[in-house]
Structure 1
Amino acid sequence: MTVLALPDPTKRKNLTPKERAYALSLMYGVTTNMTVPAKTYARVSALLGCSGRQICRLWKKARDAVKNGKLYDVESDEPAPHITVHNKNFVVKVMFLVAIARPRWVSEQNTVWDGKIGTWPFVVYELAQRKSKNRAAGTLELKTYTVDRDIYRACLVHSVIPEIKRLWPSGKRVHLQQDNARPHVLLDDVAVMTACTDKGWDMALTVQPAYSPDCNVLDLGFFASLQTLQHRKNSRTIDE
């Protein structure tokens, strides 16, 4: 006794032009006003040994071509797309610390200050451990690392606060606002408070209020502009 194995309907199969024409002829015979009855895709896919989703895509392409006054060519086959970007699950994510303020008029300089203080990426140069087709072993590569509270504190003390002191006029009270992200330091952090009050400066670390417009400045401004640049040009490395 010979048992014939039925084709797996969930397994994708490349249909031949004759099979495409046969599938379309079956669906054209049962359609009403270009509407396919229920379970038609399943029946046709069972006859041809392919998935119902493949038959559905075939019918939608033919239906759209007929609506546009064109004939659907079953002989043509779509070429495989040329993929130049990694899957989003494997794209390296770089964390930035961005400090901005409200733009204002500077009367001493007779100009408008744009409010941009600085951007600090959390990256480090490391030697490549193994060789690959892209670079030899020992080449300096830009790598990301996990940002915790200690790293965030060091960035505040050694980068952000000195840059604010360089750009901001002395004698003015400054409020450093941050949200409740996990790496952010506490409001009474000793190292940050010491850096804020050094050399007579009057700085205070505060928490941004909920639904404050200041919380959305980075999301709607800086990060939105980064997304626009990513749509215009695909970056392959961290340097780009």
Structure 2
Amino acid sequence: MVDENTLASTPTFVNMLNQIHIDEKWFYMSKTSQKYYLHLDETEPFCTCKSKMFITKIMFLTIVARPQVDGTTNEAFNGKIGIWPFMSKEPTKRNSKNGVPRTLESNLLCRTIFIQQDNAKPHLDVNDINFAEAGRNDGFDIHLCRQPPNNPDMNVLDLGFFRAIDSLQHQEAPTTIEDFILAIENAFQTFPTKELNNVFLKLQSCMVEVMRNLGGNNYRIPHMNKQKLMRDGQLLNCIQFDSDVV
């Protein structure tokens, strides 16, 4: 993660433009209690469930990378690769409020790409033969890697992206599975690109703290005042740190 050419001077992280982070998360359709600010003419959202112990939830797989701009074409990439729910659509067997019967409910990169996943057991082994073969198709060079064990802040999704998506989707107060999925997907698409880039900078600052703690996670996530630095045009592309840390 550290640019070796700068170790003799000021250590600086590499830009992470070839890093892809992938993770899954349960999203809940509603909270046990939630506050809304409504206009006098607006109808108060109404949501019911059998019990607050059984709130509808769906697992989503999410993949993001660091936002970037192609220096040749000047085309922007927002870093949001995709988000997919773990579910299937099946045809209904009879008339219902959901519809009539049989209605369904519910430029080539020539460089190495690293897909980071956490250490959950269902994930592929980083040396999986089938994945390694598929990762070399069509001129690609794609590798799996794991985040360091017992370091939850080493994944961009857990570090801030999922929390922001969760907050955005609750603003829509969905009442059906279809509306719930749409709310998550909309939250994913509308999440600001600058904020996603900021999470990658937060990841780098956490890596510095991990090094300070000799690989441990007994630290507080540092605050960089990124919004102020961004307004002043002083926000760095990569975090720099003291050579003593290395």
TM-score (norm 2): 0.46
Q: Considering only CA atoms, is the larger Rg found in Structure 1 or Structure 2? A: 1
Which structure exhibits the higher relative contact order, with contacts defined as CA atoms closer than 8 Å and separated by 6 or more residues? 2
Identify the structure with the greater helix proportion: 1
TM-score (norm 1): 0.47
